[in-house]
Amino acid sequence: MLADIDSLGLFVVAGLLLNLTPGPDVLYIVGHALRSGARAGMVAALGITAGCFVHIVAAAVGVSALVAASATAFALLKWLGAAYLVYVGTSMLLARRRSGPEWGEGAASAERQGLKKVFLQGFWTNALNPKVALFFLAFVPQFIAPGASDKTLAFLLLGLLFNLNGLWVNIGWALLAAWVAGRLGALRRSMAWLQRVAGALFIGFGLRLALAEALVPSR
């Protein structure tokens, strides 16, 4: 199967550099890690990675190519993604400091519900973003050998490798942000301003996606 893949080392290095580049994904992870700790940041990273798998499978079986070729389907996905980004941003802007049980089963249940929401928002933020679909369609095939015996399987393996590498990078972002917040305890206790900034940026990302006529494949 490795014979079906061109320049595996270059693929890994390029993928790591792309995942290290700050963008909406990193902002989402770092924001949650700063406000709520390493666990929330890592759950955000898992949600984003899960959303990427949707695009990898879709691209491997040709669904993303059909969406990219269909103006109507692409526009629909674009508007859904833009609307969800604006929704996430608005939620961040309007959110108040959480108050509730701080110990016992009530606190554990509240934490589980909060982490579930963090995961799902990260998942849908990526799954509904057509720019991620175009990224995989443009990036991954460059590393599949022209004479590959099974191009679909090669695509899936490369996508899996990209996502696993990206997951560790994103977890690193979460741990770093949580460490910074831990070192600056006063900063962590007054993170409302960061949530507002992140919310405004997500709304900006959504508006940019909605107004874009032609999307350049990028993450």
Give domain status of residue 11, yes or no.
Answer: no
Q: Is residue 31 part of a domain?
A: yes
pLDDT tens sequence across 116-140: 999 999 998 888 877 777 778 778 8
Per the domain annotation, does 163 fall within a domain? Answer: yes
Residue 124 inside a domain? The answer is: yes
Query: Whole-angstrom Cα distance, residue 83 to residue 90?
Result: 10
Instruction: Find tokens 């993604």 and name the residue.
Output: 81
92: containing domain: 25-211
Q: Quick check: helix, strand or coil at residue 191?
A: coil
In a domain, 198, yes or no: yes
Answer yes or no: is 8 within a domain.
Answer: no
Residue 2 lies in a domain: no
147: confidence class by pLDDT, cuts 50, 70, 90: confident
> What is the band of 3 on the pLDDT scale with cuts at 50, 70, 90?
low
Which residues fall within 8 angstroms of residue 193, CB to CB, at 6 or more apart?
none
Quickly state the pLDDT bin for 110 (edges 50, 70, 90): very low
Query: Is 200 inside a domain boundary?
Result: yes
Residue type, 28: Y
> Per the structure, how many domains does the chain have?
1
